[in-house]
């Protein structure tokens, strides 16, 4: 399969690591402060909150070149939970892609909760990972790893679709934070 570096040891980093290792990939799970360890994976997953992304990119300058970089962030205002913090015509993923011109940046996992990645289900539905980006091969590579790990994957379109995925992630998080849906649930895709 693949060797993947995940920056972020939180719930999402651990859940994604579990999916990928179940599918046969090797994973190095790094904390955002583990800057003494280079990113050795051909795929790098940024499993940190959006406000921490710039620090991670700055600490690891040049280490993303030539790699598939997966942004899982939802750029929401963590103080008010009432808005996305990127311009309406942009996305966190587009901003990251602009800072990493020599990487193949895609969006995935932001519409999933850690519990649904771990269980493989959203209620009675199979967990589906939506993937957006302009690099078809990068999306296909990640989709293969996700399906090998026992989940469904859907190509959600170009990098422009990252904005809509972030809006779905934002809505899902705010509903869970308000206890209107459980953190073990979320949105699923039937069919």
Under the banding of pLDDT at 50, 70 and 90, the label for residue 65 is very high
pLDDT of residue 78: 87
Asked if residues 136 and 104 have their Cβ atoms less than 8 Å apart, the reply is no
* Chain centroid offset of residue 91 CA: 13
Query: CA-CA distance, 55 to 96, in Å (whole number)?
Result: 12
pLDDT of 105-155, one tens digit each? 999 999 999 999 999 999 999 999 999 999 999 999 999 999 999 999 999
pLDDT of residue 1: 84
Q: State the SS3 of 173-188.
A: HHHHHCCCCCCCCCCC
Q: Is the pTM of this model over 0.95?
A: yes
Q: Give 161's DSSP letter.
A: G
The Cβ-side half-sphere exposure at 111, using a 13 Å CA radius, reads 24
Query: CA-CA distance, 191 to 173, in Å (whole number)?
Result: 24
pLDDT of residue 182: 94
* pLDDT, average across residues 5-9: 98
pLDDT of residue 10: 97
User: Of the candidates 143, 122, 144, which has an alpha carbon nearest to the alpha carbon of residue 132?
Assistant: 143
Token pair listed for 74: 């939802």
pLDDT of residue 184: 92
Token pair listed for 85: 């913090």
Above 80 in pLDDT, residue 32? no
Under the banding of pLDDT at 50, 70 and 90, the label for residue 81 is confident
User: Of the candidates 169, 160, 170, which has an alpha carbon nearest to the alpha carbon of residue 89?
Assistant: 160
Angle ∠(168,31,187) on CA atoms, nearest 5? 20
pLDDT of residue 8: 97
């Amino acid at each position: 399969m693949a060797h993947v570096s995940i920056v972020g040891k939180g719930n999402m980093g651990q859940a994604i690591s579990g999916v990928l290792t179940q599918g046969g990939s090797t994973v190095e799970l790094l904390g955002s402060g583990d800057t003494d360890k280079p990113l050795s994976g051909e795929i790098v997953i940024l499993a940190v909150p959006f406000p921490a992304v710039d620090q991670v990119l700055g600490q690891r300058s040049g280490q993303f070149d030539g790699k598939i970089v997966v942004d899982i962030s939802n750029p929401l205002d963590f103080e008010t939970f009432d808005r996305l913090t990127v311009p309406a015509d942009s996305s966190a993923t587009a901003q990251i892609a602009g800072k990493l011109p020599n990487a193949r940046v895609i969006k995935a996992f932001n519409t999933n909760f850690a519990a649904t990645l771990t269980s493989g289900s959203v209620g009675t539905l199979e967990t589906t990972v939506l993937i957006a980006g302009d690099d078809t091969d990068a999306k296909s590579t990640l989709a293969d790893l996700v399906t090998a790990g026992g989940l469904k994957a859907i190509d959600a379109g170009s990098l422009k679709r990252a904005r809509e995925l972030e809006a779905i992630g934002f809505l899902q998080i705010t509903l869970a934070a308000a206890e209107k849906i459980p953190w073990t649930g979320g949105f699923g895709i039937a069919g």
